[in-house]
Structure 1
């Protein structure tokens, strides 16, 4: 079974992503802070990390950078799902180490297909 880590501080967003991922037969683990997410990404070896950018503690950009710096996280697909949609945000997110970027709100019926397309291209 594939494993996904969600790093998100909004419980409604977590529930929505869990619903979408479990429908696609993913095992799902979740973290509500950037620090906890980095720890789980390196300890649990998920197949994909789905990360919000605006998090308590370290933000999603710093969390992605920390995962990328660790040898265990070097090839791990990291996908940002965020409300940031201003000019330059996508470039900033991708340059922090994310493989893909999707704007909120997400469609729970199509998001996993989009995530898997990014994973295949990573």
Structure 2
């Protein structure tokens, strides 16, 4: 059975790219484009991995990571942050919030998939 990946990304093109890449590599992917829907979707889907954009409208990806990691039922789900944030200290801040992985945008395809594989397998 294929591993499930929840992609949290508000940009439609990035969302499609991530989902297509995951499917090509044998993962089931589902997308959420509105951060306000993420917690319910995580509870419903119980993904094997969450790919989280940090800069989202309505709800910060950092806040979502902390919320997911704060719940006993979901804290074990690995989270890979994918973000255009590339300033000094951003990766440390994101990891401190609970993300186990970090990839900066624009993504490079092979490092993106390598990080997915590291976190999910």
The TM-score bracket by the shorter chain reads over 0.9
User: Runs of 5+ in structure 1 lacking a partner?
Assistant: none
Q: Which runs of 4+ in 1 moved over 4 A?
A: none
Once the two structures are TM-superposed, the CA of residue 102 in structure 1 deviates from its matched residue by 0.6
Secondary structure at 2:73's aligned position in 1? helix
Check the 8 A contact 1:49/1:78 in 2, yes or no.
yes
Aligned to 1:105: 106
Once the two structures are TM-superposed, the CA of residue 110 in structure 1 deviates from its matched residue by 4.1
Secondary structure at 1:73's aligned position in 2? coil
Matched, 1:82 2:83: yes
Check the 8 A contact 1:51/1:60 in 2, yes or no.
yes
Aligned residue pairs total 120
Q: State TM-score, norm by structure 2.
A: 0.93
1:50-86 superposed Cα distances (whole Å, 9 cap, x missing partner): 0000111111000011111111211000000000000
How large is the Cα RMSD of the aligned pairs? 1.2
